[in-house]
């Protein structure tokens, strides 16, 4: 059995209780080292921990699949929530662990946290991620369209090619008013690391970290 679990945005106390119980009892716990470190205090002390990076991810996922077929309870940790920018990672479980139906345990995404901080209702907004492989041209045009329709956008940038400053400049060039309010967050809920910035498209020019996201609010301006 393989569980794909969201461990939350960074604050260990925001981890779902069901995920905590799984981590307490799992035979195998896998994920990127940065993600594992957030959840490590909840690990079963006797669990086999399988850390992976982008280069060895396929091989390590194969090991997870082998353990699962040996009747081990395997937990693969996702940052935030599996359903927010996690489906490419989920495909690795399908393809390399050979598990077509992992059990998904949702978590709290940094996108949800950003919505709370900016009082952005999800029914009036669209979540969009550029942090994925392949061409993002259609996604960029979709962002312009939804903003022109008056919806807010909660956006995960693409490190380091399409970051908040580049996104803001692109939107100005595509006709979105330069006074449009932008909120940028780094390391949301991470103790001693979280930062927030209130900007407009025109003034959003800094270089932000790769652990950042932005909320663009077309019906608000920064005074």
Q: What is the mean pLDDT of residues 155-174?
A: 95
- Of the chain, the percentage scoring pLDDT greater than 90 comes to 89
Span 170-200, pLDDT tens digits: 999 999 999 999 999 999 999 889 999 999 9
pLDDT over threshold 60, residue 14: yes
pLDDT at position 219: 79
* pLDDT interval class at 222 (50, 70, 90): low
pLDDT at position 221: 65
Domain residue spans of the chain: 2-105, 110-221
2-105: CATH topology is: Cobalt-precorrin-4 Transmethylase; domain 1 (3.40.1010)
Q: What is the DSSP string of 94-149?
A: HHHS--S-PEEE----HHHHHHHHTT--GGGEEEEE--SSS--HHHHHHHHHHHHT
pLDDT over threshold 80, residue 52: yes
Tell me how far apart the alpha carbons of residues 64 and 58 are, in angstroms, rounded to a whole number. Answer: 10
Tell me how far apart the alpha carbons of residues 45 and 59 are, in angstroms, rounded to a whole number. Answer: 24
110-221: CATH topology is: 3.30.950
Q: How many CB atoms lie within 10 A of CB 38?
A: 20
Q: What is the mean pLDDT of residues 113-119?
A: 95
Span 53-88, pLDDT tens digits: 989 999 999 999 999 999 999 999 999 999 888 888
Q: What is the mean pLDDT of residues 6-10?
A: 93
pLDDT at position 216: 98
pLDDT at position 165: 97
Helices (H) and strands (E) in the chain, counts: 7, 10
Q: Rounded to the nearest 5 degrees, what angle is found at the Cα of 117, between the Cα atoms of 116 and 119?
A: 60
pLDDT at position 74: 98
Q: What is the mean pLDDT of residues 8-32?
A: 95
């Amino acid at each position: 059995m393989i569980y794909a679990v969201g461990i939350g945005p960074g604050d260990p106390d925001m981890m779902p209780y069901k995920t905590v119980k799984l981590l307490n009892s799992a035979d195998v716990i896998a994920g990127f080292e940065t993600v594992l470190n957030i959840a490590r205090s909840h690990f079963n002390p006797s669990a086999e921990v399988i850390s992976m990076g982008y280069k060895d991810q396929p091989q390590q996922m194969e090991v997870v699949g082998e353990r699962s077929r040996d009747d081990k309870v395997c937990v693969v940790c996702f940052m935030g929530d599996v359903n927010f920018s996690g489906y490419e990672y989920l495909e690795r479980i399908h393809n390399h662990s050979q598990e077509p139906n992992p059990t998904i345990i949702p978590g709290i995404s940094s996108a949800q946290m950003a919505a709370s901080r900016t009082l952005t209702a999800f029914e009036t907004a669209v979540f969009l991620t550029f942090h994925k492989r392949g061409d993002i041209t259609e996604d960029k045009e979709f962002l312009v369209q939804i903003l022109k329709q008056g919806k807010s956008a909660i956006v995960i940038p693409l490190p380091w090619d399409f970051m908040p400053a580049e996104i803001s400049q692109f939107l100005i060039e595509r006709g979105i008013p330069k006074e449009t309010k932008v909120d940028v967050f780094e390391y949301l809920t991470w103790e001693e690391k979280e930062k927030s910035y209130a900007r407009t498209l025109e003034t959003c020019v800094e270089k932000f970290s790769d652990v950042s996201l932005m909320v663009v609010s077309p019906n608000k301006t920064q005074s």
